[in-house]
Amino acid sequence: MRFHVLTLFPEAFAQPLQFSIVARAVQRGQINIDVADIRDYTHDAHGTADDYQFGGGHGMVMKPEPVFEAAEAAERAQIPVILTTPQGELLTQKLVEELASSPAIAIICGHYAGVDERIAEGLATRPVSIGDYVLTGGELPAMIIIDAVTRLLPGVVGSPESVAGDSITTGLLQHPLYTRPAEFRGMTVPEVLLSGHHAEIDRWRRRKSLERTLEHRPDLLSTASLTNDDRRYLAG
C-alpha cells in the first residue's frame, strides 16, 4: 500500500510515523509513505502556496496550481484522492476499510482557512473529516488515516482476530482489559476473569461491552448485531 501525502509541512511527518506498528510496516515494505512538499510545485521566488479569497473575508486559501501539480507528479493511476477538511465525510471504520482495499491513496492536507474549491471539484475524490472539532491543519488527520488504514492491511497487526473483533467493527465498545498483578493499589481484577470459566468470561465481557456502549456511544447500538439476551440485558 502506498500513501502519497501532499502537504505544506512535510517536516510534520518526519517523526510521528516512526514508532511501533506503522514504523514496522514501513520497514517490512508493507506500506510506503511518500511525502511531497506542495511548495516545491510553486513557481514564484517566494514559494507562494496561498492567497487572499475572492469576495473578501478572513483567512488565506490554498491555491489550486501547486496542489494539482504535486498530485500529478505523485501518481498517474486512478486512486482515491482524499482531501482533509472539516467539511468532509466523517472518517469511520467502514471508510477506513474501503480505503484499505485500494493499492494506493493520496492525501491532500488542507491548511489555512481552506483550499480553493477547484481542488475539491477537480482533484480530490473523497473529502474527509476526522470529527466534529476544528484543527489547524490536515497533517494530523492524514496521519490518523494512515494509521487506521495500515493496521487493517494483511500481516501488519499480529493476530487477524484482534482486527476482526475491533470495537466499532462489531458495533460495540471493547470490554475492560486487565493484566498482572491481580491486585494493584487496592484495585482488584474482577473475580470471573481469574476463574477459568470461559463461558462466564465471555458473558461478563459481552455485558461490559454493552454497558460501555450504552453509556458512551448509544448511537452505535443501532448498528450492532444484538442477541435477545443482549436486548434483555440492556433493557434491564
Instruction: Name which of residues 101 to 130 contact ligand 6GU (CB under 6 A).
Output: 110, 128-130
C-alpha triplet 181, 187, 193: angle, nearest 5°: 60
Residue from 61, 141, 148, 172 in contact with ligand 6GU (CB under 6 A): 141
Report how many residues bind ligand 6GU under the rule CB under 6 A: 14
What is the x/- site pattern for ligand 6GU, positions 75-104, by CB under 6 A?
---------xxx------------------
Closest distance of CB 68 from ligand 6GU, Å: 20
Q: Is 7 in the site for ligand 6GU (CB under 6 A)?
A: no
Closest distance of CB 112 from ligand 6GU, Å: 9
**Residue 140 or 214 having the CB closest to ligand 6GU:** 140
Q: Is 135 in the site for ligand 6GU (CB under 6 A)?
A: yes
Cα of first residue to Cα of last residue in the chain, in angstroms, is 46
**Residue 87 or 188 having the CB closest to ligand 6GU:** 87
Provide the CB-side half-sphere exposure for 232 (13 A, CA). 3
CB 93 within 8 A of CB 166: yes
What is the x/- site pattern for ligand 6GU, positions 28-67, by CB under 6 A?
----------------------------------------
Q: Which three cell numbers, joined as nine digits, stand for 152?
A: 487493517
- Spell out the residues 6+ positions from residue 59 whose beta carbon is closer than 8 angstroms to its own: 53, 112, 113, 114
Q: For 173, which DSSP code?
A: P
CB-neighbour burial class of residue 20 (10 A; exposed 0-12, middle 13-18, buried 19+): exposed
Q: Which residue has the cell 502556496?
A: 49
Closest distance of CB 3 from ligand 6GU, Å: 15
Closest distance of CB 134 from ligand 6GU, Å: 5
CB-neighbour burial class of residue 7 (10 A; exposed 0-12, middle 13-18, buried 19+): buried
Q: Which residues bind ligand 6GU (CB under 6 A)?
A: 84-86, 110, 128-131, 133-135, 137-138, 141
